[in-house]
């Protein structure tokens, strides 16, 4: 049983972790393996015990709810006039974004981590990260040189039984991609059936895998619906955290270390509220400057994405035909009583990784497909027959930024992604959009797709494509980099997540990612937390592993 408390059971905890998302849940589990240490996990959101969070196919429902989703929006970017406000959902619940995400299990490309090592973070090469990816997962179908067996997060391969999925794989192969049996193994490039973090038909979020499914620990307290509003320092030590729960404010003292895992949007916000950030920004908000750190909130990165929609000639081909009232009832009953049927699917069952700008550039585009047209907008879900492909840019070079506008913790920070502000990203967007068109024009589709509905097929020139791209760009929901690890002036932490200039303050979440990898960020953030947990506990890092890589 998880020790969910209404108030802290002690005045001081050895480790206090702010945020229970992909990183925070891992840290709470790993740090509390040392029974001599007390751990407090503080989460602003409520419990994750909700049927639609647990049921993979229910993923759109918690996403709609203010109770579970912070529903941030970026500001319109000034540098690329057409970039609109970008919807940026974030989990506000035990398990954080891992409790509301798409469950697509992707570990990125080996070259991404070798680039981190090249930039001076020598202990973050692929060889150093691989043992921690393996420690985090349980995937018995893979090659054990690359894949973990017996780790907390259970991974299964989708069945991709919908006929349109099979046609996508055929079309991708006719376009020139190879069919890849494991995109988290030796090679990432190719078309694939997706892997998802699901166990016994249930979402295997970080909280489920690392907190509920592990032996109970009496010295780990979990404080839900409690927000950290600032950090109080004594010299260069984080001394205590200021918390608010249901209107009641209180503090808890830091015994050994304070770890911020509030995610890429709110970790930098919390640092700024506590006086750490760009001094001009802090003074404008009447916040005393504890440490001028202009890197906080800079280096915001994301995977810009476009949704391509196609009609289905025979609507019975599309998953939408199974999601009428009776269909949903059948799926619900089958899932509830047998943990079988469509309820165990995250719907994204096939995809592809591509390298478009040539050798040496690594994987630079991803496709994720769903056998219907589904709009999971904050206002509500809209489902229609057809087929949908999300194409996103990997390893983009555009950088955004984030800052606070007020000392009030209840007001979200403002941020801009600045998508497609580099020539590289514009070139890549054109290549990715053309590659998507080409895959959907292959004869392998056998006329089963009726029409292209996103308007891309009417675009005549590259400049038309860029205009369309800026008008239609969306987030693939992977903000990161706002408190980057590194060795340069803009770095906020060192290679162990220790905030520069402080003795006992760590940052461990997607905000410390120095450059965005080619892949969705849940598995990657979990790996980061697994690795830094060893550093916090003072145990030797697992020896690097060097299997061959393609
Ligand atoms: C809708 C959606 C779909 C996605 N799909 C996928 C996918 O299919 N595959 C994949 O790999 N990745 C996916 N991602 C991305 C991935 O889930 C995130 O990148 C990852 O979970 C980030 O982990 P984190 O620990 O940095 O932050 P989060 O998991 O976001 O955790 C931060 C936690 O901190 C809490 N918090 C914030 N501020 C405070 C405060 N002041 N006090 C207390 N608590 C606070 C938040 O409530 C939250 O629970 C998706 C994300 C979203 C939102």
| Residue 68 Cβ contacting ligand 1 at under 6 Å | no
Tell me what pLDDT residue 510 has. 98
Alpha-carbon span 168 to 317, nearest angstrom: 13
| Residue 523 Cβ contacting ligand 1 at under 6 Å | yes
| Residue 396 Cβ contacting ligand 1 at under 6 Å | no
Ligand 1 atom nearest the C-alpha of 511 is 26
Ligand 1 atom nearest the C-alpha of 104 is 8
Q: Mean pLDDT score of the chain, rounded to an integer?
A: 95
Are 152 and 29 within 8 A, CB to CB?
Answer: yes
Are 346 and 196 within 8 A, CB to CB?
Answer: yes
d(CA 365, ligand 1 centre) in Å: 22
Just list the catalytic residues. Answer: 478
User: For residue 548, what pLDDT band results from cuts at 50, 70 and 90?
Assistant: confident
Alpha-carbon span 234 to 237, nearest angstrom: 5
| Residue 364 Cβ contacting ligand 1 at under 6 Å | no
Give kind and range of the element (H or E) at residue 433. helix 423-440
d(CA 492, ligand 1 centre) in Å: 20
| Residue 37 Cβ contacting ligand 1 at under 6 Å | no
Per-residue CA distances from 425 to 214, 243, 300, 393, 456 (Å): 43, 41, 15, 8, 18
| Residue 507 Cβ contacting ligand 1 at under 6 Å | no
Tell me what pLDDT residue 46 has. 98
Ligand 1 atom nearest the C-alpha of 266 is 38
Mean pLDDT of 386-414: 97
d(CA 521, ligand 1 centre) in Å: 9
d(CA 24, ligand 1 centre) in Å: 10
Per-residue CA distances from 130 to 26, 122, 137, 507 (Å): 17, 14, 11, 21
d(CA 301, ligand 1 centre) in Å: 15
pLDDT at residue 54 is higher than 90: yes
Ligand 1 atom nearest the C-alpha of 92 is 47
Alpha-carbon span 251 to 44, nearest angstrom: 15
pLDDT at residue 459 is higher than 80: yes
Sign of the torsion formed by the C-alpha atoms of 111, 112, 114 and 119: positive
Tell me what pLDDT residue 313 has. 93
Give kind and range of the element (H or E) at residue 149. none
Alpha-carbon span 209 to 153, nearest angstrom: 5
Pairing mode, if any, of strands 190-193 and 248-260?
unpaired
Tell me what pLDDT residue 381 has. 80
| Residue 528 Cβ contacting ligand 1 at under 6 Å | no
3-state SS assignment for residue 231: strand
Mean pLDDT of 344-371: 92
Mean pLDDT of 32-58: 97
**pLDDT per position as a tens digit, 173-210:** 999 999 999 999 999 999 999 999 999 999 999 999 99
Are 470 and 420 within 8 A, CB to CB?
Answer: yes
CA 370, 374, 376: angle at the middle one, nearest 5? 115
| Residue 42 Cβ contacting ligand 1 at under 6 Å | yes
Tell me what pLDDT residue 374 has. 84
Tell me what pLDDT residue 550 has. 79
HEC string of 344-397 equals HCCCEEEEEEECCCCCCCCCCEEEEEECCEEEEECCEEEEECCEEEEEEECCCC
Substitution candidate for ligand 1 out of 27, 97, 531 with most atoms within 8 A of CB: 97
Ligand 1 atom nearest the C-alpha of 519 is 11
pLDDT at residue 81 is higher than 60: no
pLDDT at residue 503 is higher than 90: yes
Sign of the torsion formed by the C-alpha atoms of 427, 180, 114 and 147: positive
d(CA 326, ligand 1 centre) in Å: 33
CA 135, 512, 243: angle at the middle one, nearest 5? 95
Exposed, middle or buried, 358 (CB in 10 Å: 0-12/13-18/19+)?
exposed
Neighbours of 222 (CB within 10 A): 22
Give kind and range of the element (H or E) at residue 80. none
Tell me what pLDDT residue 76 has. 80
pLDDT at residue 322 is higher than 70: yes
d(CA 399, ligand 1 centre) in Å: 20
| Residue 148 Cβ contacting ligand 1 at under 6 Å | no
| Residue 510 Cβ contacting ligand 1 at under 6 Å | yes
Exposed, middle or buried, 216 (CB in 10 Å: 0-12/13-18/19+)?
exposed
| Residue 204 Cβ contacting ligand 1 at under 6 Å | no
Mean pLDDT of 225-245: 98
Query: How large is the C-alpha radius of gyration of the chain?
Result: 22
Alpha-carbon span 447 to 452, nearest angstrom: 12
- For ligand 1, atom 9, name the residue with the nearest CA: 104
User: For residue 359, what pLDDT band results from cuts at 50, 70 and 90?
Assistant: low
Ligand 1 atom nearest the C-alpha of 90 is 53
**pLDDT per position as a tens digit, 119-169:** 999 999 999 999 999 999 999 999 999 999 999 999 999 999 999 999 999
Tell me what pLDDT residue 176 has. 96
pLDDT at residue 408 is higher than 60: yes
Tell me what pLDDT residue 82 has. 58
Are 75 and 416 within 8 A, CB to CB?
Answer: yes
Look at 289-303, 363-377, 528-542 and tell me which has the smallest mean pLDDT: 363-377
User: For residue 84, what pLDDT band results from cuts at 50, 70 and 90?
Assistant: confident
Match 């506990």 to its residue by tokens: 537
Substitution candidate for ligand 1 out of 19, 48, 136, 270 with most atoms within 8 A of CB: 19
Mean pLDDT of 389-416: 97
| Residue 346 Cβ contacting ligand 1 at under 6 Å | no
Q: Using N-to-C axis directions, what is the helix angle for 163-175 and 423-440, rounded to 10°?
A: 120
Alpha-carbon span 385 to 371, nearest angstrom: 8
Ligand 1 atom nearest the C-alpha of 94 is 49
Are 194 and 206 within 8 A, CB to CB?
Answer: no
Measuring CA to CA, which residue among 267, 218, 305 is closest to residue 484? Answer: 267
Per-residue CA distances from 23 to 16, 251, 509, 528 (Å): 13, 23, 5, 7
| Residue 45 Cβ contacting ligand 1 at under 6 Å | yes
pLDDT at residue 256 is higher than 70: yes
Question: What is the CA 140 to chain-centroid distance, rounded?
Answer: 24
Tell me what pLDDT residue 78 has. 63
Tell me what pLDDT residue 250 has. 98
pLDDT at residue 113 is higher than 90: yes
d(CA 280, ligand 1 centre) in Å: 29
Termini Cα distance of the chain: 43
d(CA 91, ligand 1 centre) in Å: 5
CA 255, 256, 260: angle at the middle one, nearest 5? 100
| Residue 267 Cβ contacting ligand 1 at under 6 Å | no
Substitution candidate for ligand 1 out of 8, 98, 305 with most atoms within 8 A of CB: 98
Helices (H), 154-240: 163-175, 206-207
| Residue 521 Cβ contacting ligand 1 at under 6 Å | yes
- For ligand 1, atom 14, name the residue with the nearest CA: 101
pLDDT at residue 345 is higher than 90: yes
Tell me what pLDDT residue 432 has. 98
Tell me what pLDDT residue 361 has. 67
Are 99 and 192 within 8 A, CB to CB?
Answer: no
- For ligand 1, atom 46, name the residue with the nearest CA: 92
pLDDT at residue 290 is higher than 80: yes
pLDDT at residue 377 is higher than 60: yes
**pLDDT per position as a tens digit, 379-395:** 778 889 999 999 999 99
Alpha-carbon span 273 to 407, nearest angstrom: 6
**pLDDT per position as a tens digit, 472-483:** 999 999 999 999
């Amino acid at each position: 049983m998880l020790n969910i408390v209404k108030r802290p059971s002690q005045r001081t905890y050895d480790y206090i972790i702010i945020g229970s998302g992909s990183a925070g849940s891992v840290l709470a589990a790993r740090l509390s393996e040392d029974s001599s240490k007390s751990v407090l996990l503080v989460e602003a959101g409520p419990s994750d015990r909700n049927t639609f969070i647990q049921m993979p196919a229910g993923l759109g429902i918690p996403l709609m709810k203010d109770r579970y989703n912070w529903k941030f929006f970026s500001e319109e970017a000034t540098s690329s006039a057409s970039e609109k406000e970008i919807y940026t959902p974030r989990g506000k619940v035990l398990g954080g974004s891992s409790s509301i995400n798409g469950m697509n299990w992707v570990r990125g490309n080996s070259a991404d981590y070798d680039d981190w090592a090249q930039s001076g973070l020598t202990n973050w090469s692929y060889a150093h990260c691989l043992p921690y990816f393996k420690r985090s997962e349980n995937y018995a179908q893979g090659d054990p040189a690359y894949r973990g067996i017996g780790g907390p997060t259970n991974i299964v391969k989708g069945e991709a039984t919908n006929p349109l999925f099979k046609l996508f794989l055929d079309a991708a192969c006719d376009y020139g991609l190879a069919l890849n049996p494991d995109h988290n193994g030796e090679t990432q490039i190719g078309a694939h059936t997706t892997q998802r973090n699901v166990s016994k038909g249930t979402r295997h979020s970080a909280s489920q895998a690392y907190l509920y499914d592990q032996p109970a620990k009496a010295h780990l307290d979990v404080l839900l619906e409690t927000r950290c509003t600032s950090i109080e320092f004594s010299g260069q030590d984080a001394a205590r955290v200021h918390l608010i729960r249901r209107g009641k404010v209180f503090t808890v003292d830091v015994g050994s270390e304070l770890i911020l895992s509030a995610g890429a949007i709110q970790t930098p916000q919390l640092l700024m509220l506590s006086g750490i950030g760009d001094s001009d920004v802090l003074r404008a908000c009447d916040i005393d400057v504890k440490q001028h750190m202009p890197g906080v909130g800079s280096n915001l990165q994301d995977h810009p994405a476009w949704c391509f929609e196609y009609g289905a000639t025979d609507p019975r081909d599309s998953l939408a035909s199974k999601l009428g009232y009776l269909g949903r009832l059948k799926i619900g009953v089958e899932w509830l009583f047998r943990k079988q049927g469509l309820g165990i699917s995250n719907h994204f069952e096939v995809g592809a990784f591509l390298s478009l700008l040539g050798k040496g550039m690594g994987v630079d585009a991803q496709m994720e497909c769903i056998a219907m047209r589904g709009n999971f907008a904050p206002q509500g879900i809209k489902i229609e027959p057809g087929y949908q492909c999300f194409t996103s840019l990997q390893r983009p070079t555009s950088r955004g930024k984030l800052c606070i506008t007020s000392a009030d913790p209840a007001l979200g920070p403002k941020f801009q992604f600045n998508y497609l502000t580099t020539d590289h990203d514009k070139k890549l967007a054109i290549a990715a959009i053309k590659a998507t068109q080409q895959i959907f024009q292959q004869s392998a589709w056998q006329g089963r797709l009726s029409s292209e509905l996103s308007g891309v097929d009417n675009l005549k020139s590259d400049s038309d494509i860029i205009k369309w791209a800026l008008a239609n760009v969306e987030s693939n929901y992977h903000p990161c980099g706002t408190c980057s690890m590194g060795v340069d002036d803009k770095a906020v932490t060192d290679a162990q997540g220790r905030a520069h200039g402080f003795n006992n303050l760590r940052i461990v979440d997607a905000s410390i990612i120095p450059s965005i990898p080619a892949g969705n960020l849940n598995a990657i953030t979990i790996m980061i937390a697994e690795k830094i947990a060893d550093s916090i506990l003072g145990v030797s890092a697992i020896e690097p592993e060097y299997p061959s890589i393609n």
